[in-house]
Structure 1
Amino acid sequence: MADSGAFPPPPQSAATRGATPSPGAAHPGPAHTPLARAAEFLWLTARVLEQRRFAYEFLGVACADAVEAALEAYRTADDGYGHGLEPDLRGPVSQPLHAAHALRVLDAIGRCGGQRVERLCRQLTSASTAEGALPSVLPSQRAYPSAPFVPVVDDPPGDLLATGPVVGLLHRNDVWHAWLFRATDFCWQVVESLEKSHPYEIEAALVFLDAVPDRSRAEAAADRLGRLVREQRLAVLDPERLDDFPVAPGYAPAEHHYPHHFARTPRSLARRWFTDTEMNRSLDALAAQQQGDGGWPIQWRLWAPGTALEWRPIVTLDALRTLRAYGRPIG
């Protein structure tokens, strides 16, 4: 499963933010650039939500209202999110992983706040465990299809995988809610006690650590996790020596993680875990993974044709965002 961090979109003029783009305004430039190739792929395959995110974040022609309107289609009656927003969980019921996905979208367009997020926090409170943590999947998912690697159990425990990104994104946007105090304590307890982990759990911890207000504590925790990542070989430091960096148990054969998966922007605490050479190799590998149709591939296990179609545009947006954050030319 992908878990992507977000960062503020490029600035737009007041006219652009509220304007309807002209028919030729959304052209991304010469057809040979990574951006233009990705645009062709996204217009052909992406959901409306990802198309509008792309137009807003990379072409500067869509407004945040348009992205919000597309996201609204995934909102549930209890003010959570469902309907396959996170493609590996199908059906109309709200789930914490959907909420994390929604917050990433809202964060990317500068709309992670207000009454919408206040109502979501109330919904998350009702979904959390006694310790204030979020399970990855609630039992209500049992009635609908879901990926085999997100099992549904009757009494699911709190999980950093779900809680860390939600708490981190809320802190990043200065959202305060009573639930956050207990959820933050849960994240600290898990992050500071990790001895053996896997890449997705580390990524979830980083979304939390990159935004939690106690910066000195976050830096200390991140330094320890960085040592763990290197000691347990969770990141491919040399793409030409993949056999030296085995994938985590239960992952797909090609589900390697690279430095850019952890340090999605140069501002991440994870950036200090890797040398410039290691980071450049990672970004080179990411750029080279763009496929002939303009999209980036999915590395984890595919379990249904529809989810593969929905995930690739999301992965493609994440790749473009990471390359741009590091100043790599995309078009």
Structure 2
Amino acid sequence: MPGDEASTPAPPSPAAPSAASAPLARAEQFIWLTARVLEQRRFAFHFLGGDPDPVDAALGSYLGEDGGYGHALDPDLRGPLSQPLHTAHALRILDGLGRCAGQRIERLCRHLSRVSTPEGALPLVLPAPRDYPAAPYHPVCDDPPGALLTTGPVVGVLHRNRIWHAWLFRATDFCWERVETLRHSHPYEIQSAVAFLDGAPDRARAAAAADRLGRLVRERRLAVLDPGRCEEYPASPGYAPGERLFPYDYARRPESLARGWFTDEEMRRSLDFLAAEQQPDGGWPVRRRAWAPGSSLERRPIATLEALLTLRAYGRPLGTADEPGGVSLPGPGRPR
């Protein structure tokens, strides 16, 4: 009879996003669970309105008596000794805090002068009186040459912060010579070249050099332009099978000179891929070759911070309270 039929239930309404499902909240749980104190402090500063002083204090524990940084600040080089890779990492952190200045930087530049090669550049790894564990892709030799991989990021950050020191003159000349004569390279070296160019004072010269590097990246397929077809972009010699770089790896922020290398669609696809790479545990993966459990564990929170900072720089939603439809997160203040 009419009216006896069971009524069809209405489809359920989409669930509102919860704090637990937001990318930033999931990453926060991962950070507290796995990260070193330094990465925990950095996360609190950048995303929870934390103060910069605790980050500075945590970074200070890696500072050596010689003015350089050691103690596995970069997880691929273990042991207490100061190394250029640690210095580059420390300067990126200080740059993010807005504290790349003062006597600490003056002392660091004096240290860089002492450890530079005859051409005024930084080697990849400094020889040491005794061996400490290091990633096999960072070999140690007795007389290492200067490397753009370490010199470029250090010089770029110092210039961006308007630091002037005698060490910078020859180191800058080294970077210009290497960048402007690159014919064969690999993704991480190109990344370091971008770090230099983004801070170089001569902006016209930097733009011209970046334009040539961008053509090199595309011609040599050094960036995965379509994440759905990764197999068409072979890994560089010596890299792990899945160790490829994407447009966002070169242009970490939209104001980078490397942003002009890629179309809007290519950049959108790479950022979609980056956002989707968040793992069930809330962290982002590390693509480089795993060589020690401790190093791999320490690097994932660093990769997670870099992913979050890049996504936020491009306006991608992370689920913070100041985003449309975002959710509130516990913490002392609004994200920076």
**What TM-score, normalized to structure 2?**
0.89
Which protein is bigger by CA-based radius of gyration? 2
Give per-residue Cα distances to partners, 1:56-111, cap 9 Å, x unaligned: 01111x21111010001101110100000000000011001100110011001010
* Aligned residue in 2 for 1:51: 40
* Aligned residue in 1 for 2:9: none
Structure 1: where are the runs of 5+ without partners? 1-28
Which has the larger helix fraction? Answer: 1
Q: What is the CA-CA distance between 1:241 and the residue it aligns to?
A: 1.2
Structure 2: where are the runs of 5+ without partners? 1-17, 320-336
* Aligned residue in 1 for 2:197: 209
Residue number among 64, 71, 76 corresponding to 1:88 in the alignment: 76
Q: What is the CA-CA distance between 1:141 and the residue it aligns to?
A: 7.4
1:137 aligns with 2:125: yes
Q: Is the 8 A contact 1:93 1:141 kept in 2?
A: no
Summarize the Cα distance change of 1:147–1:258 in structure 2 as closer, same or farther, 3 Å threshold. Answer: same
AA in 1 matched with 2:303: V
Summarize the Cα distance change of 1:48–1:141 in structure 2 as closer, same or farther, 3 Å threshold. Answer: farther
Summarize the Cα distance change of 1:326–1:142 in structure 2 as closer, same or farther, 3 Å threshold. Answer: farther
Q: Is the 8 A contact 1:141 1:152 kept in 2?
A: no
* Aligned residue in 2 for 1:23: none
1:139-288 equivalences in 2 (<5 Å): 139-140=127-128, 142-288=130-276
* Aligned residue in 1 for 2:12: none
* Aligned residue in 2 for 1:315: 303
Residue number among 40, 58, 64 corresponding to 1:76 in the alignment: 64
AA in 1 matched with 2:99: R
**RCO (CA 8 Å, sep 6+): is it higher in 1 or 2?**
2
Provide the identity percentage. Answer: 69
Summarize the Cα distance change of 1:162–1:142 in structure 2 as closer, same or farther, 3 Å threshold. Answer: farther
**What TM-score, normalized to structure 1?**
0.90
Q: What is the CA-CA distance between 1:228 and the residue it aligns to?
A: 0.0
* Aligned residue in 2 for 1:31: 20
**Counterpart-to-counterpart distance in 2, 1:33 and 1:122:** 45
